[in-house]
Amino acid sequence: MPVLELVNISKTFGTKTVVQSTNFSIQKGEVVSIIGPSGAGKSSLLRMINLLEVPSSGQIVIDSQPVEYKLNRASHLTFLSKFKLSKVRSKVGMVFQHFNLWEHKSVLDNIIEGPVNVNKKSKREAIRHAEELLARVGLLEKKDDYPGMLSGGQQQRVAITRALAMEPSVLLFDEPTSSLDPELVGEVLQMMTQLAEEGMTMIVVTHEMRFARQVSDRVLYMEEGRIVAEGTPEEIFESKDNARLNRFFSSLHG
Amino acid sequence: MNLETIAQVFPFLLKGALVTFEISILAIVVGTLLGFFLAVLRLSHNKLIRFLATAYIWVFRGVPILMVLVFIYYTPPFGITLSAFAAGLLGLSFNAAAYKAEIIRTGLLAIPKGQIEAAEAIGMTPWQILIRIRIPQIIRFILPTYISNSVALLKESAQVSVITVPDLMLNAQSQFSSTYMPYETLGVAAVLYLAMTSLLMTLQIYTERKLNLNAGRK
């Protein structure tokens, strides 16, 4: 049974179609990478999963529950929908390209914010769990620092920890290493690889082809708002007969 | 400097200062609440709502407080009669709201979108996001401007003396007219104004420390 399913999802901005009636599902423990040229609709597809972007049509199903929401005339979520989505969103973790840690909160406060205020855990229990997670990635001594004092790689690892502290059913990564200096990419990818090995269900939009190839169970290739190719990493990276894939891979190597 | 006169007029001045403090702080509070509301309306998707909020700000920023005060006190609609204090408070609040709205709007716009998305993604409700993410960040951004504006408001509250609110300015002036000693009356009043504005500035320093305003800025 899939943890998450997108049925016939589309997204249009005015006359521009960003994602075109796409179907997608992911099983528990599966790691799926989404690759493709920029502007292919990868991030939009990912962001629609937790309604950070609102689909123009289609259905989202999380843990077998269809996600219900209403739109106002300006095609924004209604105020009531935002309240109701809270529960669904708490089950879907999200890691952003620009980390998006709350700058006015310490590392520890960033991590316990969700568990305490959304999952209604006791503060003590949330702190204990957060410290345990931080210790595992070697960031425990940074717990009282503010995000602005950390390197990009450290911030992203804290952001991943913040998402993990919610104990989500699935973790979404939106180009998690794209805004990092090259020497900081490794530490983030290593953390993600370890999560994948521990059985976390992950959907990763990425330009890191090595990660997509070595860590994913399945790779999706998107172009112009559609999933054009889909398969195991071997099928995607070693197929020589798909002209579009070939063009994309050769563009990467310059 | 006549110490005896100072001792004589000081109770009146202090009483006036309390009125000034009370009316200013209340106007800041009401103005901030109303201003927050206006700021949100100015960012609405609805054109009419946006227009009305903009029109309000345009009028109340553009008309002298003194006129607003006189209109509210002497010509309230529907046969309402307002006490001088109530009229003064309303006038100052309406005026303050226009300024606070613009300051708060700047703060609302300065919050990086990603900070809000992160809160949404973690499942926080709009209410939680407002209280726990938006407002603390708005305060960080606008605090210096906000306090400067509040200091200005406290000083401008002297204009309520024109509609007979017994504030520091009115009491100081009446003591001056009966003694003709400017330093012992108006001078002391100036010191009291300075003390009250200093209090607001101290509040700024305290809040900046408390909020770690510069946390992590390299």
What tens digit of pLDDT does each residue of A7-44 get? 999 999 888 999 999 999 999 999 999 999 988 999 99
Look at residues A195, A142, A151, A147 and name the one whose alpha carbon lies nearest to residue A173. A195
Please tell me the predicted confidence (pLDDT) of residue B218: 42
Task: Quote the pLDDT of residue A221.
Answer: 95
Measured distance CA(A149)–CA(A223) in Å, rounded: 38
pLDDT at residue number A98: 96
Q: Which helix (H) or strand (E) holds A58?
A: strand A57-62
Quick one: pLDDT at residue B44? 86
For residue A216, the 8-state DSSP code is -
The sign of the CA dihedral A70, A175, A94, A58 is positive
* A254 — pLDDT class (breaks 50, 70, 90): low
pLDDT tens across B118-176, in order? Answer: 999 999 999 999 999 999 999 988 999 999 999 999 999 999 999 999 999 999 899 89
> Binning pLDDT at 50, 70 and 90, where does residue B2 land?
confident
The predicted model gives B94-113 an average pLDDT of 95
Mean pLDDT to the nearest integer, B63-82: 90
* The pLDDT of residue B217 is above 60: no
**Residue closest to B140 by CA, chosen among A103, A145, A79, A181:** A103
| Mean pLDDT on A70-80 | 84
pLDDT at position B213 over 60: no
Instruction: Kindly list the residues from chain A whose CB atom is less than 8 angstroms away from the CB atom of residue B218.
Output: 148-149
Minimal Cβ distance to A87: which of B118, B123, B127: B123
Q: What is the mean pLDDT of chain A?
A: 93
What would the two tokens of residue A236 be? Answer: 């995607």
Q: What is the pLDDT of residue B33?
A: 96
**Which residue in B has a C-alpha nearest to residue A78's C-alpha?**
B126
ipTM above 0.90, yes or no: yes
- What percentage of chain B has pLDDT greater than the value 90? 73
Tens digit of each residue's pLDDT (9 = 90 or more) over A169-212? 999 999 999 999 999 999 999 999 999 999 999 999 999 999 99
Chain B nearest CA to A103, separation (Å): 8
Q: How far apart are CA A8 and CA B134, in angstroms?
A: 35
From chain A residues 140-199, the ones with a CB under 8 A of any chain B CB are 145-150, 159, 162-163, 166
At residue A73, the pLDDT reads 78
Could you tell me the pTM of the whole model? Answer: 0.85
Cβ atoms of residues A116 and B126 within 8 Å: no
Q: What average pLDDT does the segment B57-84 reach?
A: 91
